[in-house]
Amino acid sequence: MKTFTIGQVAEKIGVTVETIRYYEHEDLIPPVRRDEGGRRVFTDDDINHIRLVIEMKKADVPLKDIAYFASWRGDGDDSLEARYEFLEKHELTSEAEIKQLEKSLAFLHYKKWYYKTAIEAGTENIHLLDGTLEVSEDTLNEYAQLLKNSDAKTLGKR
């Protein structure tokens, strides 16, 4: 079985040695085996677990929850259902956040188009009802039509 030093692991997965030590100290990863000299010796399984922690952190899973997950992993088959439900819960949370971000991004694309066309016309009034700051139905319809005929991401970059 191939093993790795803490420095090799840090370089391989793009974190600092201190981060790995912190993960171990906070019980986010199981205790790592040590050699005769007391140095940590990591396996591919250890590396995969660290990657799991990193991805959970990126998904905004609280550290205490990641620690629970790590402890369940040590329980073996007795915790399979708990681990599955844990991941399912956080998957649903992440999907909801992604949907909200997509809505926000779509709104930003619209506003970019709105201001770009106003700049090109030299006035924001092309989008407003006469004498108000209210966006006209024509503007909303024009943008909706552009969306139907174009990729929204591309439209936002124009």
Helices (runs of H) and strands (runs of E) counted in the chain: 7, 0
CATH hierarchy code of domain 6-74: 1.10.1660.10
105, two tokens = 């991004």
How is residue 145 written in tokens? Answer: 């039509």
pLDDT band, residue 152 (cuts 50/70/90): low
The residue with tokens 């391989």 is: 12
Kindly provide the residue ranges of all beta strands, DSSP E only, lying in 41-135, ordered along the sequence. Answer: none
Length of the chain: 158
d(CA 37, CA 29): 21
Strand partners, 42: 4
Question: Helix %, strand %, coil % for the chain, to 5?
Answer: 70, 5, 25
- The domain locations on the chain are 6-74, 99-157
The model's pLDDT over 90-141, given as tens digits with 9 standing for 90+, comes to: 999 999 999 999 999 999 999 999 999 999 999 999 999 999 999 999 999 9
Q: Please list the alpha-helical segments (H only) found in the chain.
A: 6-13, 17-25, 44-58, 63-73, 80-121, 137-149, 152-157
**Residue 129 φ then ψ, to 5°:** -65, 140
Confidence tier at 49 by pLDDT (50, 70, 90): very high
78 DSSP 8-state letter: G
151 confidence band (pLDDT: 50, 70, 90):
low
Q: What CA–CA distance (Å, rounded) separates 48 from 26? A: 17
